[in-house]
Amino acid sequence: SARDRIKVVCRIRPENKIEKEGNYRRCVEFTDTSIGVECQPESKVSDMIGRHDFTFDRIFGPDSQQVEVFEEVAAPVVKGVLDGFNGTIFAYGQTGSGKSFSMEGVKNHPELKGIIPRMFDYLFECIAQADPDIEFQIKCSYLEIYLEKIQ
């Protein structure tokens, strides 16, 4: 079923200061489920020149909010975990692409909390509302791999 399959989403981060101040041409066009990347002849990735299209289950644009990403991506995983299934969220991307922001967020800014703190809040909120006779055992692993080393 659709609930059982792996879902692949893409989050496009906002432009950083250098990108905003530089005279860079935007090379990404996207909809809710597809993205087109146009590599120009001056690109350092010469074998990728031209347009390349990719399809995802969902694409979050640069204006997407942390809560929106959580509700669409992570909340269903938590619901599955509470139903007895294992769940995994895997963030992948180059340095500076926004993985830590999406997963962890910004401390002391509730609206900028990432997936991980929101998942714990939601998980324990659901447990608090559950039948008190149900016993829960929760195990969680969180790790970062950087330059092929576990951090």
Binding residue positions: 93-100
- Say how far apart CA 99 and CA 92 lie, in whole Å: 7
Which residues are documented as binding site for ATP? 93-100
- Say how far apart CA 53 and CA 35 lie, in whole Å: 6
CA 103, distance to chain mean position in Å, is: 7
- Say how far apart CA 3 and CA 22 lie, in whole Å: 43
> DSSP secondary-structure letter at 105?
B
CA–CA distance from 120 to each of 1, 86, 117 (Å)? 26, 15, 5
Expressed in angstroms, the distance from the first to the final Cα of the chain is 35
